[in-house]
Every structure is written in C-alpha cells, then in structure tokens.
Structure 1
Amino acid sequence: MRIFSLLAHPRDNSFCHALSKQARDALEAEGHQIDHHDLYAEEFDPCLTAEEAYSIGDTLEEVLSRSEDAVVARHREGISNADGLLVVHPNWWGKPPAILAGWMDRVLVPGVAYRLQTADGLPEGLLSIRKAVIFNTSDTEAERERLDLGDPLELIWGRCVLPYCGALDYERHVFRPVVGSSYPQRQNWLEETAHICRSAFDG
C-alpha cells in the first residue's frame, strides 16, 4: 500500500517521533511505500489563505493547477494518491497541534478530500484511503477522558474528518499517561505500535 504518513510534534526527541518511526519501520519491512511528512521539520504553514478558502467543487487537477504553495500542492497530491493514512500526534487541549489542524484546513479541501454537490451539507468523500491509523499520546487518564471530556479527538477523527473524506475504516490508539512512564512501558508501547501497523495494513 501507498501510505501517507503525518507526524505533528515540535520536539524531534518526543515519544511521538519514536512512535512514528516505529510504525514506519514496521510498515516498510512489510513492503509498504511510505510518503512521510514531519510537519514541523518541513515548517508547514498552517494558515489557510483567502484565495484557498474559495476552492469549492473543483476537480483535483484544477485545485493542483491553482496551488501557489508547492508544499501544500505536494501534500494534496500525496494524500490523493494514498491507499493508507498514518497519523501521529499528541493530545493538546483535546485537539491536534495547530500545525496539524492547519494541515487539515489547507490540504483536505474540496476537490481533494471531498465534494459538496447538494445543499444538505453531506459531502462525497474523494480519498482512496482504505485504512487510516491514528496514534495519540496523552497525559489524561482514559476514564476521565471518556467521562469528563468526551474524548474530543475521537470525535474529530472518527466523526468529523475521516468519514467525510471517504476513509471509513480507521483505528485510533492512545498511549497514556506518557509523563512519568518508564522505559519498559514505552518499549511495550513501541512494540504494540509495530504490531498494530502490521495488522492494520495487511492488505
């Protein structure tokens, strides 16, 4: 599979970086083709421009031909050609880091990720993503996340983003709490990550 990989964490020694590398190494060992993007390392500009906000109902070719930002155009083309999606990011205030939220704004646009053809607001998903796997790190206990906070990241990925882009088959895994975790615990999480990826993207 052609897997589009996103990593969103500003510190290159973060556990998110270790998770992403472990996942990519496991997938490459299985023969998958990885198109990896470390958003902070690439200095991806998350700010949607006024011109970009008017891309409504265009075809992919039209959207790409009008893209003035070469980095954004490359991401749009990459996600359009992908069979799988791998995303690694921390839970910050119940949302992805701003750079990843901006990536959604600028890359998952009409003509690339979805098309609105009717006035009912229900989009037609355009992506060919057969499987999406999301890994999150968090310092919030699972019970509190579920009972007190409602797990907003699950709502974002599982209800607001992936289904409307055509990626209906997804998994999301959270490793927590990262702060104070031991080296053996993190090694177990890394091994679990490799196993999850091998199983999820087995064709």
Structure 2
Amino acid sequence: MTNRIFVFSGHLGEDRFGHALAEAYGEAARQAGAEVRVMRLSAMTFESALLSGDFKGNQELEPDVAAFQENLKWCSHWTPVYPLWWGGMPGQMKSLLDRALLPGVAFKMVEGEELPVKLFKGRSARVIITSDTAAHYYDELYDCAHDKIMGRQILDFIGFEEHSFKMFSPMYLASEDERASWIAEITELGKQDAVARQDVLAVA
C-alpha cells in the first residue's frame, strides 16, 4: 500500500527555514513513491476563534479549514513542521487545531465513557520542530514539555498513536553548513517514511 503523507508547515512568513524543511521532506517522500499533499499555515485564511466558546456553535468551516480536515482524513501519516514559540506551537496553528479537530471529525464522545473514540485511529505522525532552544535544555530543563502536550493530549487523543518528535536547534546559532546538514537529514526521513510500514512510520 502506498503511504499517503500530509506535510503541514506551521511556520508563518514566507522565508522561514521551516518551509525549506517541509518542502525537502515532502519532495523526498514523493520521489520515493509516496502520495504527498502539502499545506502552509501562512497561506491559509480562517477565523481563529471558536466564536461560541465551545464545539457546539456549528461555526461554518472556511475552505482552508475544511481542506486541512480532509487532508488529515486522507493521510496515513502526518508530518507537521513548526517552530517552538514560548513552549508550544504558534497560536495560529493552535487555533487551526481548535477549529478543525471537532467532535465527529477527530473524536467521538460515548455516553458513560471517560475517553472518546479516536476517529483518526491507525495513523502515524512525525512532528518536526525548529527552535532557538538547545536540545539538551529542552530535554533536561523543560522535560520535553511540548512533546507531552502534542503527543498525549492531541495526537494520542485523536488516533495518531504512533508518533515521534524531531527537533532542529538552536536555529539562531546554525551555520549554513549545519542547515544544509539538516536539509539532508530531513530528506532521508522523507525517503524513509515513504516506504516504511505503518507500524514503524513514526520511529525516529
């Protein structure tokens, strides 16, 4: 079965190194035989707030939010690429998840059950993060805090149970040679994910 990979760049602005990482990964996966779809947060237009304050307002989905939902449904493997801002993803990306990961789309609550049915069950994810925080500080001082939130409270919750995290950092100190090596590394990950079995897609 051909792997269907959804590459999502959560970087804002048009000249960010994260876009280059996402493009290199997606192109490598495509060249290796995967079906690949790509979206950029910076090119999307949508209301960032749940205007009713909850999921019950039946707020109309903008075309970009609907397309994001459709790509998550379509894919077997999701690769979001985004910067770490104040310990988490950019606010606009979090707003997109608030708008898109709706009951009946990403999960389904069942009466009498504490945890929902995971409507994206069976999919995998490889989360690519860029940061100015050195990896050893992120691991030791911050205890990989964002990995826990993204991994357990978002990906696990909706069914992307097989997932891994890769951080490229510190960005502000990276030389051109180091950035080139990161492009080479993510290119190899794209090739690997294109042909991997589903149960090992998210293994780093």
TM-score of the aligned structures, taking structure 1 as reference length? 0.87
Q: Which residue of the other structure, out of 156, 165, 168, is the alignment partner of 1:172? A: 165
CA apart distance, 1:128 = 4.8
Paired position in structure 1 for 2:102: 109
CA apart distance, 1:52 = 6.6
Q: Assess, with a 3 A threshold, how the Cα gap between structure 1 residues 165 and 124 changes in structure 2: closer, same or farther.
A: same
In structure 2, C-alpha distance between the alignment counterparts of 1:195 and 1:78, rounded to whole Å:
23
Paired position in structure 2 for 1:130: 123
Query: Aligned AA for 2:179?
Result: R
Contact 1:40 1:99 in 2 (8 A): no
Q: Deviation digits for residues 165-191 of structure 1, max 9, x if unmatched?
A: 111111210001110211111111111
Q: Assess, with a 3 A threshold, how the Cα gap between structure 1 residues 189 and 167 changes in structure 2: closer, same or farther.
A: same
Paired position in structure 2 for 1:7: 9
Query: Aligned AA for 1:164?
Result: F
RMSD across aligned positions (CA)? 2.0
Q: 2:141 is paired with a residue of what secondary structure?
A: helix
CA apart distance, 1:45 = 3.4
Q: Assess, with a 3 A threshold, how the Cα gap between structure 1 residues 45 and 22 changes in structure 2: closer, same or farther.
A: farther
How many residues were matched structurally? Answer: 194
Contact 2:45 2:64 in 1 (8 A): no
Q: Deviation digits for residues 13-51 of structure 1, max 9, x if unmatched?
A: 111011001111111101222221101112343222328
In structure 1, C-alpha distance between the alignment counterparts of 2:150 and 2:178, rounded to whole Å:
26
Q: Deviation digits for residues 127-156 of structure 1, max 9, x if unmatched?
A: 155321111011112222122222222012
Contact 2:29 2:193 in 1 (8 A): no
Query: Aligned AA for 2:163?
Result: Y
In structure 1, stretches of 5+ residues that fail to align are 56-62
Q: 1:94 is paired with a residue of what secondary structure?
A: coil
In structure 1, C-alpha distance between the alignment counterparts of 2:70 and 2:132, rounded to whole Å:
34
In structure 1, C-alpha distance between the alignment counterparts of 2:54 and 2:74, rounded to whole Å:
21
Paired position in structure 2 for 1:146: 139
In structure 2, stretches of 5+ residues that fail to align are 198-204
Contact 1:125 1:164 in 2 (8 A): yes
Structure 1 runs (4+) greater than 6 angstroms displaced: none
2:86 aligned with 1:84: no
Q: 1:197 is paired with a residue of what secondary structure?
A: helix
Q: Deviation digits for residues 29-79 of structure 1, max 9, x if unmatched?
A: 012222211011123432223287217xxxxxxx8xx84423222222221
TM-score of the aligned structures, taking structure 2 as reference length? 0.86
Q: Which residue of the other structure, out of 43, 48, 51, is the alignment partner of 1:49? A: 51
Contact 1:82 1:128 in 2 (8 A): no
Q: Percent identity?
A: 26
Q: 1:146 is paired with a residue of what secondary structure?
A: helix
Q: 2:173 is paired with a residue of what secondary structure?
A: coil
Query: Aligned AA for 1:141?
Result: A
